[in-house]
Amino acid sequence: MLFIDSFYMFLGQLVVLIVAIIIILLIIFIILALLIAKKNKIRFPRFLLYIVDLLYSPLKTIAHFLKLDDNLIDDIAIRVRNDLNKEQYNRIPAEKTLIFLPHCLRHKDCPATLQKEGLNCTECGLCSIGVIKKKAEPLGYKMYIVPGSSFVKKIVMENKFQTVLGVACHEDLNQMMMLLSDFYPQGVLLERTGCFETKVNVKKVFEKLDSKY
Ligand code: SF4
């Protein structure tokens, strides 16, 4: 009986301790996130990302509950990851860099077919994918136009590379950067999301391509 009482007391203390740690981490996250949002200052980036990766779902739920921007958590994480990985990404040559573009960028009349490694763009000139491909491939980048994360995982398994550049909507981009965090990922957000004819700022993608030279 004494043993059972002690066990439940220990369990209760453990739960209180875990809840206290989570609350402290959330408060630290809010302070660091405010520094980024208000003063554009990124402090303790690795710790911030640790909190986001650990408490991603609770943070999203809290942001939603407080009626904050749905993309706030992903936005902060993407900014921090870009800042943290920039130098290493720039040091790795284009030949060892994979680019992932979402196939929703294609034009509705896109003539390309879907292959096992993604969309086979013919550079028909109807959308920004062809524009990016025209610049990226002669520089040595390997570019893939993918319909989803399962393609990304497969391509990553089958290729030798050291870093990645991704284009996607907030949640997909953050998830991809989280998944490939060992490869110094860089990301560019879509400016218009949807199922097709989404939009990316090509200039921002070109900046990431040129930053290695
Ligand atoms: S540029 Fe490529 S992806 Fe875009 S519509 Fe043409 S073939 Fe399709």
Q: How many CB atoms neighbour CB 101 within 10 A?
A: 28
For the chain, what percent of residues have pLDDT higher than 70? 99
Q: What is the mean pLDDT of the chain?
A: 92
Exposure string of 119-158, with b = 16+ CB inside 10 Å and e = fewer, is bebeeeebbbbbebbeebeeeebbbbbbeeeebbeebbee
Q: What is the pLDDT of residue 194?
A: 87
Candidate from 99, 108, 122, 199 with most ligand 1 atoms within 8 A of CB, to mutate: 122
Q: Give the mean model confidence (pLDDT) for residues 101-122.
A: 94
State if residue 117 touches ligand 1 by the CB under 6 angstroms criterion.
no
Tens-digit pLDDT profile for residues 45-62: 999 999 999 999 989 998
Q: What is the pLDDT of residue 1?
A: 67
Cα angle 73, 76, 77; round to 5 = 85
Between the CA of 89 and the centroid of ligand 1 the distance, in Å, is: 27
Minimum-distance ligand 1 atom for the alpha carbon of 112: 7
Q: Give the mean model confidence (pLDDT) for residues 6-19.
A: 90
Find all residues with CB under 8 Å of 29, minimum gap 6, and list them.
48, 51, 52, 55, 59
Tens-digit pLDDT profile for residues 125-163: 999 999 999 999 999 999 999 998 889 999 999 999 999
Tens-digit pLDDT profile for residues 156-176: 999 999 999 999 999 999 999
- pTM for the predicted model, two decimal places: 0.88
Q: How far is CA 167 from CA 102, 110, 147, 188, in A?
A: 7, 19, 12, 5
State if residue 129 touches ligand 1 by the CB under 6 angstroms criterion.
yes
Tens-digit pLDDT profile for residues 72-109: 999 999 999 999 999 999 999 999 999 999 999 999 99
Q: Give the mean model confidence (pLDDT) for residues 5-25.
A: 90
Whether 18 has a pLDDT exceeding 90, the answer reads: yes
On whether the CB atoms of residues 188 and 201 are closer than 8 A, the answer is yes
Q: Give the mean model confidence (pLDDT) for residues 184-206.
A: 95
Whether 201 has a pLDDT exceeding 90, the answer reads: yes
Domains of the chain: 2-77 (no CATH), 93-210 (3.40.50)
Q: How many CB atoms neighbour CB 1 within 10 A?
A: 5
* Dist. CA 163–CA 90, nearest whole Å: 9
Which two three-digit tokens encode residue 140?
Answer: 């040595």
